[in-house]
Amino acid sequence: MKDYVAPLRDMQFVLREIAPLDEVSNLPGCGDVNLEVAEAILKEAGKFAGGVLSPLNRVGDREGSKLKDGEVKTPAGWRDAYRQFVDGGWNALSCDPHYGGQGVPRLVSALVEEMWNAANVSFALCPMLTRGAIEALELKGSEELKKAFLPKLTSGEWTGTMVLTEPQAGSDLSAVRTRAVKQPDGTYRLEGQKIFITYGEHDVAENIVHLVLARTPDAPEGVKGISLFLVPKFVPNADGSVGARNDVRCVSLEHKLGIHASPTAVLAFGDKDGAVGWLVGEENRGLEYMFITMNAARYSVGLEGVGLGERAYQAALDYAKERLQGTELGTKSKEKAPILRHPDVRRMLLQMRSRTEAMRAVAAVTAAATDVARAHPDAARRARSQAFVELMIPIVKAWSTDAAIDIASLGIQVHGGAGFIEETGAAQFLRDARITSIYEGTNGIQALDLVGRKVARDQGETIRAVLAEMRAVEAELEKEKDEALSAIAARLRDGVVALEQAVQYVVATYTTDLRKVLVGAVPFLELFGTVAGGWQMARAALAARRRLAAGGDGDPAFYKGKLQSARFYADHVLVRAGGLARTVVSGADSALAIADDEF
């Protein structure tokens, strides 16, 4: 199998046409990154992803990370690759310059992050979690904690984790029992066990900074009594160097379906004197603070979906071009044809390609809105953008990861029997992708968040504003008087109508019959994602047609391919919207009527 090649041309298209970087570059603090600089960053990132990370992907899958005598050894090449990653400044790409970061807009860093995930998702998980820890400390850490930890986390010399769940708790964080007792010097001592901690122990960096949810002795019950603590593997000395080993140890590593190279640890805090930790923010507000990290992580997990979709597509396309099997049906030729010529293989490949392009576009538009929400000088504009980002986070996370699993499965199907054999590598993408719909709150939880907090709570105001933008794109398509664009407009119009019906149902029913709405929460999320993807693909088609009319910018083949990909998405993916809407509006009774003992 060939190594990953970054889809630079499509990423350039996204930055020029879908989520225009020129608009982001005009924001305060973003002016240093124009299109020329951004494309140079993407080019260098693509080289690193394809030349350093991608060759290690199979190595990591075969070897996995190993635990011996409490220490974790990552696969061959991992430590050197991480050192190159840090030395290249990649960890600091989007971080605050005050702590040594480069301040690159999220729009650009998101596309770079997609590359890391496509090339080697097990590797990419480490800097992804570090970035989440950085964001939490930037917003809620004391000045002392920021000074002591942010420079090292930003550079990547130290890595970060999220330490949430426990054996008895799972996704129910109200059941967290880890205990934190305040000491006379203002620190805390933590005792408890945590599970499913990604990169909770490893050998790629000299220190690991854990952000841990725990309870103080007098904390109220439930989620209102959870606090957030910073607990390092090694307690730093006054000069910032690594000091004594803290009372934190790795009990075991999980044996997983995929992402074998990413060490998923069971951590014990306080087996001896208690693990030294510092309170982040105020007591009993830990879950609120952790959601800062979790939202950043949820978006990043969505980028894992985009990256894995791209990687699975590339592998399947390469195989389809090279594998000769059968003759081309409908022709008189007796020569063996590459399976790319077979209609069903073409259908599967275009499913993979068009959905990945739609996911990339949706993620990029959300990233650009994140930059606007952070830096725009107008408060009202910041608020609108933030509302849009919060609406779209469940889509980027859940819709993209569900799609990635399906795309990776299609990749195996394109390979046929060879895809079911580990040696071809196609199966790894499916195994690696499978966790993404579970990470950072399962996709069912993302759907509950979407229908409750993001749609019903504001009576559908934010999503209706998005629907209005979709209708505006539909009108622009019709103005072009072009057959292909008109066909896409018709599919988009049907999708918008279906989504509007589902939104009306959710808003009207949420407070009167909650269980009915929740039965359809996951189909609602899929519906919204499908239509949002169609919206962005319609915009891509419009831009491609206009570029072709102007001469094609020296690359007419790309724009023709983009137009065809958008048409395929409309005809094969967007058309599912009507059925999903009917499930949301009318599917609850059949799910709720069955008694428990009838299962």
Residues annotated catalytic, as ranges: 440
Query: Is the sign of the CA dihedral 510, 515, 520, 521 positive or negative?
Result: positive
Distance between CA 498 and CA 420 in Å, rounded?
37
CA angle 399, 400, 406 (to 5 degrees): 90
35: tokens are: 């299109």
Distance between CA 599 and CA 589 in Å, rounded?
15
Name residue 100's beta-bridge partners.
none
Q: Which residue has the tokens 């009838």?
A: 598
Listing DSSP states for 375-397 in one string gives: H-S-HHHHHHHHHHHHHHHHIII
Strands 275-279 and 264-269: unpaired
Listing DSSP states for 281-331 in one string gives: SSTT-HHHHHHHHHHHHHHHHHHHHHHHHHHHHHHHHHHHHH-B-SPPTTS
Segments of 150-247 assigned E as strands: 158-163, 179-182, 188-198, 207-214, 227-232, 234-236, 242-245
Continuous segment of H or E residues that includes residue 59: helix 54-63
Query: Is the sign of the CA dihedral 343, 433, 41, 533 positive or negative?
Result: positive
114: tokens are: 């997609």
Cβ contacts of residue 85 below 8 Å, gap of 6+?
Answer: 48, 52, 91, 127, 156
Distance between CA 264 and CA 550 in Å, rounded?
52
User: Residue 205 corresponds to which amino acid?
Assistant: A
Residue of 135, 141, 144 whose CA lies nearest to 162: 135
User: Residue 377 corresponds to which amino acid?
Assistant: P
- CA torsion 286→287→289→295, rounded to 10°? 160
Distance between CA 266 and CA 178 in Å, rounded?
13
Listing DSSP states for 76-124 in one string gives: TTHHHHHHHHHHTT-TTTTS-GGGT-----HHHHHHHHHHHHHHHHHHH
Query: Is the sign of the CA dihedral 375, 377, 378, 379 positive or negative?
Result: positive
Strands 179-182 and 66-68: unpaired
**Rounded to whole angstroms, what are the CA distances from 443 to 13, 122, 171, 379, 450?**
29, 20, 12, 32, 10
**Rounded to whole angstroms, what are the CA distances from 388 to 131, 365, 392, 437, 467?**
22, 10, 6, 22, 12
Q: Which phi and psi angles does 29 have, rounded to 5°?
A: 85, -5
Cβ contacts of residue 187 below 8 Å, gap of 6+?
Answer: 276, 277, 278
Distance between CA 440 and CA 446 in Å, rounded?
9
